[in-house]
Amino acid sequence: MSQRKTNLREMTGRWWLIQTRPQFERRFATDLEQANVDHFLPLAKVRCTRQDRGRLRSIVQIKPLFPTYLFVNFPKGDRPSAITARSIANPKLINVVDQHGLAMDLANLQIALDSDNTLTPRPTIQHGQRVRVVEGACMGMEGEAVRQDDHHIRIQLSVCMLGQAVDVDVPIEKVEAC
């Protein structure tokens, strides 16, 4: 699901990435909508667990797929800074160098969102990168990413003094880059 139902493949302007204050993505998208500016705010259904009166409840919320970011397509020659300067969302305008690559990525993302498939945001983690577990029994643990498949990442924990290491497999959605 996305905020704007325009076919992204038909947009011919220049793409910009806008970074807003946390939780201001929708407000800024509304400002862009009122100014008739083409934009793309990818939204996804996210299952969250909340505690209500001592019981855990599972609820579904609609949240931005990329928190604090949205994509704006300005016609060539327009000045994007004029719109961003008036917003209370305090946006930061980020130039996109690879216009064609971003346009293709966004068009593919729009197709995936419109298909009603479940999308799971995952961090892009490189082999050898330091990572931290942010959820679950291993929360707070840090190590080096040594292997990754579709569902798990193997983290190597080193004990430098002994010159030894152990590997731990953790679900990938519970890991973030340090």
pLDDT of the residue at 71 = 92
What is the dihedral sign for C-alpha 152, 158, 159, 165? positive
Domains of the chain are 8-114 (3.30.70), 130-177 (2.30.30)
pLDDT score at 4: 47
CA angle 128, 112, 48 (to 5 degrees): 70
For residue 140, how many other CB atoms are within 10 A of its CB? 7
Task: Identify the pLDDT of residue 63.
Answer: 86
pLDDT of residue 41: 93
Question: 39-78, pLDDT tens digit by residue?
Answer: 899 988 777 777 778 787 878 888 888 888 999 988 776 6
Q: List the chain residues with pLDDT less than 70.
A: 1-6, 77-89, 117-118, 120-123, 159-162
- Whether the CB-CB separation of 39 and 72 falls below 8 Å is answered with yes
Mean pLDDT, the chain, whole residue set: 79
